[in-house]
Structure 1
Amino acid sequence: MKALRWHGKKDIRCDNVPDPTIEEPRDAIIKVTSCAICGSDLHLFDGFMPGMKCGDIMGHEFMGEVVEVGSENKALKKGDRVVVPFTIFCGDCDQCKRGNFSVCERSNRNKDLADKMFGHTTAGLFGYTHLTGGYPGGQAEYVRVPFADKTHVKIPEGLTDEQVLFLGDIFPTGWQAAVQCDIEPTDTVAIWGAGPVGQMAIRSAVLLGAKQVISIDNVPERLAMAEAGGAVPINLDEESVLERLKDLTQGKGPEKCIDAVGMEAHATRSLDSMYDRVKQAVMLESDRPHVLREMMYVCRPAGILSIPGVYGGLIDKVPFGMAMNKGLTFRMGQTHVNRWTDDLLKRIESGQIDPSFVITHTVSLEEGPAMYKTFRDKEDGCIKVVLKP
């Protein structure tokens, strides 16, 4: 089969590789009908996440048709149409029973490595480094899904791939980011980053009843999409984020702040962002936390910081004393995808939201390597790429 594989920093290739096979009795083999390039994949493309090996298959946002099931998998049958969450979970451990699927205690087959790195293991993830199991990803023609009797979202007839594909990652990620904010009708929610997750967070905050939603970015196409979704746009290259947020909140600051950027903040005009770039270039810092610092500064005292943006390692010069004295609450983590998907699927079926609005480019799998650069550099108005194997 064909698959997109990581061969080093900025080197993704479409290669021929062996087809996957059933390895465990709860497995399923999925024929991929649609997959996507996620912003988190760019952290791998740019070489900022540890734990990748040459030849690893990329991708964690995919869906398709079941073509084979293991002997103990009674939840799926050949021909079922499923979205596969990026988080692999067993459904039986203490964390899964609590709905904390992204920290499943059993699905990371490199548990010992994760224990050393994080103190305790987190869940296995598709296509996302050997710290999370080294599982082959979904930017391929076929995928083996471990614990597939639990790790799936079954899709009813009548919905297109484009409507439901993002149930595997960015839609529940944006939704969880907004839910973590405990949004009240009087709240202003400020969201840094108007990429795919930011767009979903905007619409989620609107659906959850925020009084005002603000989107901060520097890409005109993204800000236009954010405004169409109900957000007040702030272009960080053209105006002061701090002053505009003061104006929009009568000097009090937003009650809730969402970091939908993560480790590769692209601000260039501030001293702290220049400091981060220098330290990252000489490998003295792994992540660029400009957005975190800015959120901690502008958030109203006793507010909430929600962090769906991915961080990979060490950050520097974070004003933790400021956050402590302001009484800020931090909520963060990889998404507990299946905690939210029943509700979100109903919202799609009812027409309340159609997540396909975010798609700007649809190409073949073979065109995927070139689209990584297009997506990263935001060329050709690119916001979200869907690949068709």
Structure 2
Amino acid sequence: MEALTWHGEQDVRVDEVPKPEVVNPSDAVIEITATAICGSDLHLYNGYMPGMREGDVLGHEPMGEVVEVGDEVETLEVGDRVVVPFTIGCGSCWFCGEDMYSLCDNSNPNAEVARKAMGHSPAGLLGFSHLLGGYAGGQAEYLRVPYADVGPVKIESDLPDEQVLFLSDIFPTGYMAAENAEIEPEDTVAVWGCGPVGQFAIQSAWMLGANRVIAIDRIQERLDMASSHGDAETINFEHEDVYDRLMEMTGDRGPDRCIDAVGTEAHGTGLKGVTEKVKQEMHLQDDRVHVLRQAIKCCRKGGTISVPGVYLREGDNVPLGPMMNKALTIKTGQTHVQRYLDPLLEKIEDGEIDPSFVISHEEPLTSGPELYDTFNRKDDECIKVMLTP
């Protein structure tokens, strides 16, 4: 079968790889009908994610039709149409029992390696390095789905793929980010990053009762989307000082809730921003934590900072003193996707949201290498790429 595979920094190729089969009796195999390139994939593309191996199949936002099931699979049948979450949960460990599927104890076969790096191993993730399981991803014609009774959600309506595909990651990720922000009525919510996760964080902030949403980015088409689809006020950080503008907009109090939807490859401004980028590219530092630092500075005293943006290792100069003295709450985490599948599918079916608004490019799977480059460069007004095998 054809798949998009990783061959090193900024080297993604279309390769012929073996078609997956049922390995464990709890597996299913799906034929992919739609998949996507995620901002998190760019961390792999740019060589920042440890544990990648040449030939790894990429992608963690898949959906399709079930073509094979293992003997122990009870909830799926051949022919079912499903969206597959990127987090892999066993369904039986303590963390899965607490609906914290991205912390599953049993789904990462390389748990000991992850434990040495992090202290404990999180769950295995589709298409996201051998540190987190080495599972083949969904930017391919077929995908093996482990623990198939726990992950996939069946789509039993005639909603098109583009409306439900993002249940696999970015819609639940944006929603959990807003939920983690602990939004209360009358709150002002500031969202750093107007990529796809930021767009869904904005939408979700309104769903959870925000009084005001302010979106921060430097790419104009993303700010325009945040304004037109998300009813957000906007700040272009290349044209305005974010701290000064937020203080002006909030009467010097600061936003009540701040969401870092950027993560490790944050763009700073001025000499400091350039220096941080060079240091990361030369492996003199790990994560660029510019947005996290800025959110800590800007958030009102006693506020909450939610971090859906992916960080990979360590970051320099995190302002722990301001964080502590301002009594801030920080909530983070990979998304517990399975927790949100049914309620967010219901919101789509009820017409409360059409997630397809983020798609800017829809192309065949074989166009993947070129679109990785386009997405990485933010060229051609590229916000979200959907691929079809």
Pairwise TM-score range, normalised by the shorter structure: over 0.9
Q: Which runs of 5+ in 1 are unaligned?
A: none
User: Per-residue deviation at 1:148?
Assistant: 0.7
User: Per-residue deviation at 1:159?
Assistant: 0.9
Deviations 1:137-194 (Å, cap 9, x if unpaired)?
0000000011111111111222110010000000000000000111111110000000
Pair 1:230-2:231 in alignment: yes
Pair 1:209-2:215 in alignment: no
User: Per-residue deviation at 1:322?
Assistant: 0.8
Paired with 2:248 and 2:156, the residues of 1 have a C-alpha distance of: 46
Residue number in structure 2 paired with 1:146: 146
Residue number in structure 2 paired with 1:384: 384
User: Per-residue deviation at 1:286?
Assistant: 1.1
1:380 is paired with a residue whose SS is: coil
Residue number in structure 2 paired with 1:290: 290
1:4–1:139 contact (8 Å) kept in structure 2: yes
User: Per-residue deviation at 1:284?
Assistant: 2.1
Pair 1:305-2:305 in alignment: yes
User: Per-residue deviation at 1:273?
Assistant: 2.2
Paired with 1:213 and 1:61, the residues of 2 have a C-alpha distance of: 27
Q: Which runs of 5+ in 2 are unaligned?
A: none
Letter in 2 for 1:252: R
Q: TM-score, normalised by structure 1?
A: 0.99
Segment drifting more, 152-161 vs 165-174? 152-161
1:172 is paired with a residue whose SS is: helix
Pair 1:33-2:33 in alignment: yes
Letter in 2 for 1:238: H
Letter in 2 for 1:268: T
1:206–1:230 contact (8 Å) kept in structure 2: no
Residue number in structure 1 paired with 2:53: 53
Paired with 1:161 and 1:282, the residues of 2 have a C-alpha distance of: 40
Letter in 2 for 1:2: E
Q: TM-score, normalised by structure 2?
A: 0.99
Residue number in structure 2 paired with 1:103: 103
Segment drifting more, 240-249 vs 349-358? 240-249
1:283 is paired with a residue whose SS is: coil
Residue number in structure 1 paired with 2:169: 169
Letter in 2 for 1:259: D
1:3–1:139 contact (8 Å) kept in structure 2: yes
1:65 is paired with a residue whose SS is: strand
Letter in 1 for 2:99: G
Pair 1:77-2:84 in alignment: no
User: Per-residue deviation at 1:279?
Assistant: 2.4
Paired with 2:73 and 2:175, the residues of 1 have a C-alpha distance of: 29
Pair 1:129-2:129 in alignment: yes
Residue number in structure 2 paired with 1:89: 89
User: Per-residue deviation at 1:340?
Assistant: 1.1
User: Per-residue deviation at 1:277?
Assistant: 2.0
Deviations 1:210-257 (Å, cap 9, x if unpaired)?
111000000110000000111101111111111110111011100100
Paired with 1:28 and 1:191, the residues of 2 have a C-alpha distance of: 37
Residue number in structure 1 paired with 2:267: 266
1:272–1:290 contact (8 Å) kept in structure 2: no
User: Per-residue deviation at 1:282?
Assistant: 3.0
Deviations 1:195-224 (Å, cap 9, x if unpaired)?
000000000001111111000000110000
Residue number in structure 2 paired with 1:65: 65
Paired with 2:281 and 2:157, the residues of 1 have a C-alpha distance of: 49
Letter in 2 for 1:249: T
User: Per-residue deviation at 1:274?
Assistant: 3.1
Aligned pairs (5 A) from 1:184-195: 184-195=184-195
CA RMSD of aligned residues (A): 0.8
Paired with 1:258 and 1:47, the residues of 2 have a C-alpha distance of: 25
Segment drifting more, 54-63 vs 145-154? 145-154
1:347–1:353 contact (8 Å) kept in structure 2: yes
1:297 is paired with a residue whose SS is: helix
User: Per-residue deviation at 1:37?
Assistant: 0.1
Question: Once the two structures are aligned, what percentage of the paired residues are identical?
Answer: 57
Letter in 2 for 1:33: T
